Amino acid sequence: MTILVTGGAGFIGSNFVLDWIRTNGEPVINLDALTYAGNLANLASLQGNNAHHFVRGSIADGETVGQLLRDNAVRAVVHFAAESHVDRSISGPAPFFETNVMGTLHLLEAVKAYVGTLDADSKAGFRFLHVSTDEVYGTLTKDEPPFAETNPYKPNSPYAASKASSDHIVRAYHETFGLNTIVTNCSNNYGPLQFPEKLIPLIIHNALKGKDLPIYGDGLQVRDWLYVGDHCSAIRRVLEAGKPGETYNIGGDNQKTNIEVVKRICALLDAKRPKADGSSYTSQITHVTDRPGHDRRYAIDARKIESELGWTPEADFDGGIEKTVDWYLNNESWTAEVTSGAYRDWIARQYA
């Protein structure tokens, strides 16, 4: 038995691959195009492990995907591969629709063709798990209830629109072609191996380098923070027991404003890596012009996955963020390697 993971060299994908092999041991075919956020160093601990087979390639390459499915008798696909940064989608939307929409379509076509060759039992047992985001639901006011699976889609950024489109395609392939698809919509992930364009690793990186800590607008945007290890365990549970055709929202039950998150990181760094002059890292906080269409609040209602599948998150935010800060402090060489000149140029333009 083998699973195919797309985007398994990225942040959530690589954490999932590491978690899967550690807890399950079932072989993984890891397909990743190794764009800027994909990093084989994330998988260095699997060097020589026969349970992990990495293939550099695109989800849009139906021939390669089909061959991988057939040659390895794949029983499930876990689809992480995506362009995922809202800011980049605003400055250049096209790659988001090429990968997230058309890439997912080509992937589904290859999977559909493969499943059509399986016997009845294998076909019934096959799963296609599509990993998506809470951003497809739009934004919440301060007092609105969290997003449930029944919320209408109201994407507000090109990224969210591309993920919403891919969610609908996945659903259509279940309804029209009988493919056993499942969609998960998660809240904001954080943890080890996250590319430092996202808020938490960016703040840690900039703080240690003595740079400004850029906060959009007033910093009161609210996110429901989900530790990546909890997300991995939720995906494992959905793959094991989720019902085809269903959607499961996955959240951390940790609603925090961006400014709260940044100040908590600064406090941890003050204690663990104090500045030579004795000042707090909070002195580096700088408020910058808010980005267009910035959603004010996200929150996840995860009662469905709890009641139907028995999953709840384990990490509270204080414990999860401390583990995350510790990982980045202990792996500064990893950050140095991924923050290339191109990365630095992009950050300079984005937060000018």
pLDDT value at residue 352: 58
- Catalytically annotated residue among 83, 134, 197, 224: 134
What phi and psi values does residue 308 have, to the nearest 5 degrees? -90, -35
The answer to whether 134 is a known catalytic residue is yes
- Catalytically annotated residue among 32, 135, 253, 301: 135
Per-residue pLDDT of the chain (352 residues; tens, 9 = 90+): 899 999 999 999 999 999 999 999 899 999 999 887 788 889 999 999 999 999 999 999 999 999 999 999 999 999 999 998 888 899 899 999 999 999 999 999 999 999 999 999 999 999 999 999 999 999 999 999 999 999 999 999 999 999 999 999 999 999 999 999 999 999 999 999 999 889 999 999 999 999 999 999 999 999 999 999 999 999 999 999 999 999 999 999 999 999 999 999 999 999 999 999 999 999 999 999 998 889 999 999 999 999 999 999 999 999 999 999 999 999 999 998 888 756 556 556 765 5
Q: Distance between CA atoms of 328 and 271, rounded to whole angstroms? A: 15
Q: Nearest CA to 177 among 81, 110, 247?
A: 110
pLDDT value at residue 347: 54
List, in sequence order, every residue forming a beta bridge with 186; answer none if it has no partner: 133, 250
Q: What is the pTM of this model?
A: 0.94
**CATH 3.40.50.720 for domain 2-191+226-252+296-314:** yes
The answer to whether 135 is a known catalytic residue is yes
pLDDT value at residue 313: 97
- Catalytically annotated residue among 137, 159, 298, 328: 159
pLDDT value at residue 84: 87
Helices 104-115 + 62-71 axis angle, to 10:
40
pLDDT value at residue 78: 98
Q: Distance between CA atoms of 7 and 100, rounded to whole angstroms? A: 11
- Residue count of the chain: 352
CB-based contact 173:112 (threshold 8 Å): yes
Q: Nearest CA to 34 among 79, 78, 81?
A: 81
pLDDT value at residue 180: 98
> What are the sequence ranges of the domains in the chain?
2-191+226-252+296-314
pLDDT value at residue 259: 98
Question: Residue 135 to residues 74, 85, 162, 182, 295: CA-CA distances in angstroms?
Answer: 30, 11, 10, 18, 8
pLDDT value at residue 128: 98
pLDDT value at residue 342: 64
